[in-house]
Structure 1
Amino acid sequence: MKLQRIAIREFRQFSGQLVIDDLQPGLNLFVGPNEAGKSTIAEAVRAVFLERYKASHLKDLLPWGLANGQPSVEVSFELDGVACRLSKQFVSRQRCELRIGQSVFSEDEAEDRLAALLGFSRAARGPLKAENAGVPGLLWVQQGATQELRDSTGHAAQYLRDALTQLSGGRESAGEDALIAAVQRELRQLLTARTQKATGPLAEAEQKLAALSASRDELQQQRQQFDENIARLAAQQEAFDDAERRRPWELHEQKAAAAQQRAAAVAELERNLQGLDQSLRVGEAELAVAVQQEQGALELEAALAREREQLAALRVEVSAAQAAYAQAESSVAQAEQAAAEANRALELANAAVSAADLRGQIDVYRAERERLEASIADADKANAAVLQAAQEAAALEIDERQLKQLVALDAELTVLRARTEAAMTRIEYRLNGEVKVGEETLSGTGVLRVDEEKRIELGALGQLRVIPGVSDLSAQFSELATHEAEHGQLLRSLGVVSSGAAQARHEQWKTLVAQQQSHAKILAVHAPQGIDALRAALAATAARWQASSERLASLPDVSAALPLDAARRHAQIARDALEAARKVLAQAATAYSSGVAQAESLAAQLQRKEAQLSDDAFRRNRAQWQAQIVEQRVKVDALKNQRGERERELDAARLDDPAAEALRYRASADLARGEQHERQVRIVELRSQLETMGASGLGERLAALEAQVEQASRRKDELSLRASALSLLDEVLVDERDAALAQLRAPLTERLGHYLKRIFPQSSVALGDDLSPAMLDRDGRSELLDALSFGTREQLGILTRLAYADLLQASGRPTLLMLDDAAVHTDAARRDALKRALLDAATRHQILVFTCHPELWDDLGVRQRAVADLKLA
């Protein structure tokens, strides 16, 4: 199939008509920037061949702003040497017509014919789906979809298989596929596809068998439990009768009473021991208080001796601190005098610096004042010129709108007068006598213009009646009079005598306005913020000059001032010396005052302690403490001996722990009674269970369940056998189909190798069941298609489509390749290889390539057709 001409009208961005003719049978290259319309051309070709002309979803084909448009596409092409033409109109007034040679098809019949010829299926309703696109969906690559091959190959798989069957001479495999699908449908009703687990009837049979088996096992367990309960009831009854004869709980209670009596005796010994412990703690506490009081008196005597020594040493330190304080006071007075002298010198140096600064400021203010005075004079002069030019311009100003009306009216009057003059009848005369024309008498020579009917009296000769040849002359006169009245009114309104005078006056006004603007610019240069601002600045500068002069006059004589840096250095040295002397004085004062305070505090403390030791009451209390210490020590020793005897008696009584034995015997009695009660309860429960199970027909139910289990087992075995048979049949059929497909793949594999070696030498592509590339074998390793880079998948997508086109053409099917912005992610070396492959394929197929990179495709030896040029044409 070879396209020859494409005509697109009111289709998306083409609001007019775009015609592409002279299409070559091989490679055709369309170039243009993004949004130039390349993809729109490709979409138009897809729409005219594949979309249903009556589809309601195609309103997006309308150009923007053209709601009532009628998108239409017409293509002329050659099919097996027969001239064909297809035209479709969408959205409104929908139509479809297909001409093949002398045969004409229209509407749905035409679309069915197209689908059969090109190898695709019509969508039942709505937009064209990918699964309907068939061969065109495989060979007509949309923008950005070059690397996407698996889906489009799958949708065209049946057409490819038909072509391979025709080329390879193999047998048709579609019937086997249908049989395999039927077997697999039956198998999927019994086993899942991925895990081969039971499903459907087989799963139900297994579940039913498992449920019946569980019920049978449960009844068998109940039967076994019934037998065991009979034996357990006999054992429990025998144990109950034996316990009733022995009554072991009564013996345990007697032992518990005896142990409780021994425990009471131990508790009495513990209470006696606690009383002794309390008396001992009281005696030891009283002894500790007396000892502590005596220890305090001894420590007071030792502290008094130490503090007397400390007071003597402290008084010596106070004398030394007083001498150091006097020396520090003298040093501070000398430093203060030196610092005062240095500060006065520094103030004089600062005054000298201020005087120099003020003199500089006075010079600056004087220069600024002179500059401002000159600027004010120049600004006054420029302002006067501006005012004068404004006054003169105002006197000459003329209404520009009325001037334009006057000039236009003057031109119209000139034309109108000329037309009126030409329309009037002109009579030139040369008379020897007089002739009366109307009320006027003519003689001599001259020209008579007749604008209305006139009678010329010729005396004896008779009379001439002159009628102007223009019928609307009076209307022209009326129009001329109206324009002349309007013209005169404008002249009076503007105050001029003519249009030329008005224009001259307007030009003179423009000259004065230009002069005014020029003087205003000069004024803006001298006074950008106005003359008043200059005068205010002059006043401020004068005030600052006056203030600086007064401050300079108020400064002292600075002729003997030191340099400021030297004065600052001397002042800093004096301040540092004063600060150091003051620190020494502060430290001496702190040491002296601290020593005096410590000595006074220590002397007062020493006096208090001496008074406390010499107090009579303190001496009497001390004698009592010493006597109490002796008495309490004797008492504490006696209590310790008594406590030791009680502890030995209690240890002997505690050897067998009578309280624990009483608790143990009581617990044993309770356990014996509880066990006997539990035996009685179990006996009652077992008797009740046996009666219930014996009345439920346990044996008959068990026999019925075993019969149901056997029946369910046979059903499950039958379905399992069917699933195994179907699995085996599926394996055999798939193996047979794969063998047939291997024979079919040979022509396609050969064509793929033809193109693949240009980019990937010594490599091969493994095909899947849907005849799409599944794996690339190169350099001794296999790579899945999805694991390859984007660019490599893009290159494989182009080469594989070329191979599909060769295969389809060899089987007699029409082929047309469209590549929209393909090889975008391909490097220069592989792009060159792709170009050679395209040129090779172009000798067998028509290929339309759309690209926004014309510089990358300018070495194909093919004319590049710019979309922009097509639009202009």
Structure 2
Amino acid sequence: MKLQRIAIQEFRQFGGQLVIDDLQPGLNLFIGPNEAGKSTIAEAVRTVFLERYKASHLKDVLPWGLASGQPSVEVIFELDGVACRLSKQFVSRQRCELRIGQAVYSEDEAEDKLAALLGFSRAARGPMKAENAGVPGLLWVQQGGTQDMRDSTGHAGQYLRDALTQLSGGREAGGEDALIAAVQRELRQLLTARTQKSTGPLAEAEQKLAALSTSRDELRQQRQQFDDNIARLAAQQQAFDDAERRRPWELHEQKAALAQQRAATVEQLERGLEGLAQSLKIGEAELALSVQQEQGALELEAAIAREREQLDAARAELAAAQSAHAQAERRVDQFEQASAEANRALELANAAVTAADLRSQVDFYRTESQRLEASIVEAGKANTAVLQAARDAAALELDDAQFKRLVALDGELTVLRARTEAAMTRIEYRLHRALSVGDRTISGTGVLRVDEEKRIGLGELGELRVIPGVSDLSARLSELTSLEAKHAQLLRALGVASVGDAQARHEQWKTLVAQQTSQARILEVHAPQGIDALRAALASTAARLQASSERLASLPDVCAAPPLDDARRNADVARDTLEAARKVLAQTAGAQSTGVAKADSLAAQLQRKEAQLNDEAFRRNRAQWQAHIVEQRVKVDALKNQRGERERELDAARLDDPVAEAKRYRASAELARNEQRERQLRIAELRSQLETMGASGLGERLAALEAQAEQATRRKDELSLRASALSLLDEVLVDERDAALAQLRAPLTERLGHYLKRIFPQSSLALGDDLMPALLDRDGRAELLDALSFGTREQLGILTRLAYADLLQASGRPTLLMLDDAAVHSDAARRDALKRALIDAAARHQIFVFTCHPELWDDLGVRQRAVEDLKLA
């Protein structure tokens, strides 16, 4: 790009009009004292190219003391041999017009065209920011900013990468940094950066699994104690039954009675009376024991009746839960179908929007073709090579913004597919016969990925239902479907089948544009009036018309397409409804599982009690104690009668206390009875404990904890697998990025060496990943740029920008360098070396140098233009 004329009117300190013409294609030197207006000229050039003409903040460019002024800037320049003119008026009656050859652009279209040509982006609102300045922000150095390379190089990084990619033949690696950062962010959520220890969800899963394992072990210990108590109860019950059969206390009582008979007659009646009293007490105790045992049996029958009612209620609740789950499954199927239909409608609506855009383009290109044909009638012959190159380039041209969005979206899809693949439940199988999975059949060996609930038929054995363990898998699948729909829409909009096709087509288009530029320069020698430019424009328009027509014809029939907003809204509603139905399905599945567990537990408990009630030994014992109740009641009544008779006899003749032998036998009988009663108490205590532990749902809680522990184990294994996959992906991506960057740096390193040797012989400049100089290696010593002196950094800033300009020009980018008061901190020797570098670069670029020290720059061999003289003119 070569500026030929600059016209500035009512701009800051220029209250009138300042015209600068006869600009040279190489070096242009502007001199003047401080505040003469040098920086104002540079600012005017920056403003006309970079700032929006409607920006409200531009009131500060109003001329001093003239609040009602109308600042305006106009530049005439040459771009690839084509005459161009740009004019803007700011603050009041704002306007903008850009002419490139015969083509005219105005307002926002003109500004967007400028941004695409020069390599910068527009701020959404407000003044031009440094991060949007791109290539001009790198090459147009403001006063005092020569030594600062970091921000300007970073903001122009993408354009430099594009240029390096074209020159080196390598592949662009710019998007990999964002992908690596995304992978590392995901990895840091699971593993720490330095020690690789578990953190976040993985640490929580491990802690949860440890807590569940501890609780499960405690319940298992309680279950073991429960089983031990059952065994102790059986042993105590057997000893009790044996004692009841043998009744050893009765034998001791018989021996005591015989001893009493051998005692003195005086004591016989008294001891007989005491024996009767003791027998009466024992009979009453035995009667009470038998009554208590019968009462326990009656209570067991009542408990069985209550638990049978509870089991019936639990089975009714289970049936209701199963019905609700089946209904939820039907609703999910219905909503999945509705969501698929809504997505198809959305695709058709997007195709309708694309078709409308293409029809508008076709109409525009037809009108433009008619205008160009009328102009070409008066033109001469054209060069066939330029026409062919223009036609081929236009046929391959892609919308740059859509192309960049497509590449970025493809990167997002790669990451999301990897995350979704890692989140899916995988079932590896090796089958000897075919099985049905959902609506298809599998056999042999392979891997089945479960992204939703699937039913695996096992023939006569029944079926298995596999539910993915990741709760948010459906959300990830929905997000993946949405991104794939956007990806497909962009592919249709660009008219390509894949991202690789788009990149290949974009690279081919850039190659054809470079060929067209080269041919146009040759053509300029033979046709200085620019006739071929008109024909190239016509060929380009015709090719675009054909491409747009073909893309329009390739679209489906969109007559029945709904409005895009309605289709998007319907798709969102269908997706949200489907997600809600899936959540309800998960809830009903949980309720169904809980109902099954509860019913099974009640059935097992009822079965145990019924078995106890129907046990043959229990029924035999019950019949015995029922008969014993009748017998004991008769015996008690008889003993009461005998005691009355003996008391009357004792009144007549009191007997002494029993003899020691009778006491010994009675004591033995009492000990035998006490031991039997203690056994009975221990049996009752053990039964109470067992009933309490059984009623607490020990088996249910243990089963629930084992299920939770199994789920926590799957969750921990899933997160560990994800962390391993992310670590491997991070290593692969970093290695690939480093290799790509090494290939990209080669052309830039060569140009830096070309300029660097003029000031620092036998030295080299190392580039960082951001393509910015990082280390200066001279005389075997490496130094960081920030550690160098201000003057040295300023000199490196000038040389580096010259190398960037060579790189950008070689890749077909327009270049213009502006240096405002640069090299003011250089000594004479280094300043002479910088001058030689500028003269060398001026053979390839137009360079504007502004200085307030004309005596230091009077040996460049170019005319010095004083700003004061320009004002007077």
TM-score, normalization by structure 1: 0.44
Which protein shows a greater Rg?
1
Using the size of structure 2 for normalisation, the TM-score is 0.44
